[in-house]
């Protein structure tokens, strides 16, 4: 079991232990990373202790264009970026099951671009904005599919980011390929990149290994899609957001590549998974979201 949101980015998030008594991997990693650390009781606030800029809108959602929002942030003010950008799926029409029922696919305007050139220009703009606000030793994670991740990776390198790893998220419960014309899309790819070649990026190698039965953490992560209590739904039972990511995925990213008190920027905040996990793990978040409906769901 992973981390379960209780419904909001401001509410507590709990790390559950399965009935077998063996904590989930993310719980074990967290326990390992916190072992031996002194209590923060009676200490200065995280903002005071870490010298966080008073200009930063910590633990807030900035509604509007992500590039404009990021441009208002101070340079070198963010420790980590997690980005789940539009995938540019290029769906040419309705997707239907063999029984002719409609598949709940991503057909929102935010995922539509007139050409690859337009998508590349958008990608370059938001990545450049993120690089400006990253601290010299900061890093970025971006997730995508075969539709976009290769283009994103090329632009990352063009802008001066330094590739560290690509991570394969193997889905325990992927959606079938209903048309039967291709392999089932059972994974997505994350790129982990430092701001630059000389960046002294954060990586909690020992904590990850200690939480993984003393084995090195591999670059293929087997995790289920977001389902059940964790999946946000509206009053009719429909998904609030079509591409909500599982909190266990975000937890593993943050536990591996950030520290308590760090500021994590999410340019495509959606319904707030990054914020929920950041708060659970003692990190700060800054979320950018252009869709007020999604932002409202994240605040509820």
Work out the number of other CB atoms within 10 angstroms of the CB of residue 190: 22
pLDDT of the residue at 228: 62
Answer whether residue 49 is part of any domain. Answer: no
pLDDT of the residue at 182: 86
pLDDT of the residue at 177: 80
pLDDT of the residue at 3: 34
Q: What angle do CA 239, 241, 242 make, to 5 degrees?
A: 85
pLDDT of the residue at 55: 83
First-residue to last-residue Cα distance in the chain:
24
Contact 121, 182 (CB under 8 A): no
The total of structural domains in the chain comes to 1
Q: Tell me the C-alpha distance between 167 and 181, whole Å.
A: 26
Answer whether residue 51 is part of any domain. Answer: no
Pairing type for strands 162-171 and 187-194 reads antiparallel
Q: Where are the beta strands (DSSP E) in the chain?
A: 3-5, 13-15, 60-63, 78-83, 134-144, 162-171, 187-194, 220-223, 263-266, 284-289
Answer whether residue 40 is part of any domain. Answer: no
Find the farthest-apart pair of alpha carbons in the chain and give their distance in angstroms, rounded. 62
Answer whether residue 98 is part of any domain. Answer: yes
* Domain assignment of residue 154, given as a range: 3-35+56-299
Task: Reduce the DSSP state of residue 274 to 3 states and report it.
Answer: helix
pLDDT of the residue at 39: 33
Q: Would the CA dihedral through 27, 33, 36, 41 be positive or negative?
A: negative
Any idea what DSSP says for residue 216? Answer: P
- The pTM of the full predicted model, rounded to 2 decimals, is 0.78
Of residues 81, 58, 5, 84, the one with CA closest to residue 300: 5
Give the mean pLDDT per block of 10 residues along the chain (300 residues): 36 34 65 49 44 82 95 98 85 54 55 83 97 99 95 98 98 82 92 99 96 95 79 64 82 97 96 92 95 78
Tell me the CATH number at 60: 3.40.50.150
Residue that is written with structure tokens 């059972």 in the block: 186
Answer whether residue 120 is part of any domain. Answer: yes
Element (H, E) at 99: none
Answer whether residue 48 is part of any domain. Answer: no
Of residues 232, 227, 91, 214, the one with CA closest to residue 171: 227
Q: Which residues are CB-contacts of 34 (< 8 A; sequence separation ≥ 6)?
A: none
pLDDT of the residue at 42: 39
Residue 42, judged by CB atoms within 10 A of its CB (0-12, 13-18, 19+), counts as exposed
pLDDT of the residue at 4: 36
Answer whether residue 41 is part of any domain. Answer: no
Answer whether residue 42 is part of any domain. Answer: no
Phi, psi of 50 (to 5 degrees): -105, 0
């Amino acid at each position: 079991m992973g981390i379960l949101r209780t419904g909001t980015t401001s509410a507590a998030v709990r790390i559950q232990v399965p009935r077998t008594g063996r904590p989930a991997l993310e719980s074990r990693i967290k326990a390992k990373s916190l072992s031996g650390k002194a209590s923060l009781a009676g200490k200065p606030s995280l903002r005071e202790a870490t010298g966080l800029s008073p200009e930063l809108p910590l633990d807030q959602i900035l509604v509007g264009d992500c590039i404009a929002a990021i441009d208002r942030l101070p340079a070198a003010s963010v420790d980590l970026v997690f980005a789940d950008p539009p995938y540019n799926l290029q769906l040419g029409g309705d997707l239907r099951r063999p029984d002719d029922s409609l598949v709940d696919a991503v057909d929102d305007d935010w995922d539509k671009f007139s050409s690859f050139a337009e998508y590349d220009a958008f990608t370059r703009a938001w990545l450049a904005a993120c690089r400006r606000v990253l601290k010299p030793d900061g890093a970025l994670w971006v997730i995508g599919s075969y539709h976009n991740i290769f283009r994103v990776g090329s632009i990352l390198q063009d802008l001066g980011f330094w590739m560290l790893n690509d991570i394969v998220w193997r889905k325990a419960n992927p959606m079938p390929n209903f048309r039967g014309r291709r392999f089932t899309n059972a994974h997505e790819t994350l790129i982990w990149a430092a701001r630059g070649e000389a960046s002294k990026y954060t990586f909690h190698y020992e904590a990850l290994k200690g939480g993984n039965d003393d084995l090195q953490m591999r670059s293929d992560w087997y995790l289920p899609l977001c389902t059940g209590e964790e999946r946000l739904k509206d009053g009719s039972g429909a998904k609030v957001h079509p591409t909500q990511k599982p909190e266990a995925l975000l937890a593993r990213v943050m536990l591996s590549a950030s520290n308590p008190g760090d500021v994590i920027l999410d340019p495509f905040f959606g319904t707030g998974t990054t914020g929920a996990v950041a708060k659970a793990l003692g990190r700060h978040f800054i979320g950018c979201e252009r869709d007020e409906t999604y932002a409202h769901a994240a605040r509820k």
